[in-house]
């Protein structure tokens, strides 16, 4: 697995801010860009290529931290059926 130094935690990009993880996860699943700690941008597709399965995310004006799930639609469906 790739080192996540400089990547974590992610925050909303291009003026998007989130008050809940569910809204952030929905945008993440839609492959919208998120801002990395280094200031660059990244999306779900790129993290999947890196082999990342979860990634830290800050929201609610950076006061809260949680994790976004990085998985394909097939992996997500399989998890719901277990």
Query: Domain for residue 39, yes or no?
Result: yes
Query: Domain for residue 32, yes or no?
Result: yes
Output b/e per residue, 41-67; b: 16+ Cβ within 10 A.
ebbbeebeeeebeebebbbeeeeeebe
Confidence tier at 20 by pLDDT (50, 70, 90): very high
Closest CA to 69 of 17, 29, 11: 29
Q: Are 19 and 3 in contact (CB under 8 A)?
A: no
Give the number of domains in the chain.
1
Residue 18, Cβ neighbours under 10 Å: how many?
22
Query: Domain for residue 30, yes or no?
Result: yes
Query: Domain for residue 2, yes or no?
Result: no
Query: Domain for residue 43, yes or no?
Result: yes
Q: Is the pLDDT of residue 79 over 90?
A: no
Q: Residue 68: beta bridge partners? A: 55
Quote the pLDDT of residue 3.
Answer: 67
Confidence tier at 2 by pLDDT (50, 70, 90): low
Q: Which domain holds residue 26?
A: 11-72
**Least confident among 2-6, 29-33, 34-38, 63-67:** 2-6
Of all residues in the chain, what percent carry a pLDDT higher than 70?
91
Query: Domain for residue 79, yes or no?
Result: no
């Amino acid at each position: 697995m790739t080192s996540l130094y400089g990547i974590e935690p992610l925050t909303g990009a291009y003026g998007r801010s989130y008050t809940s993880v569910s809204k952030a996860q929905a945008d993440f699943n839609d492959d919208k860009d998120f801002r990395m700690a280094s200031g660059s941008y990244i999306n779900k597709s790129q993290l999947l290529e890196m082999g990342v399965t979860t990634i830290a995310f800050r929201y609610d004006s950076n006061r809260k931290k949680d994790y976004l799930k990085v998985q394909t639609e097939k992996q997500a469906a399989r998890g719901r059926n277990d």
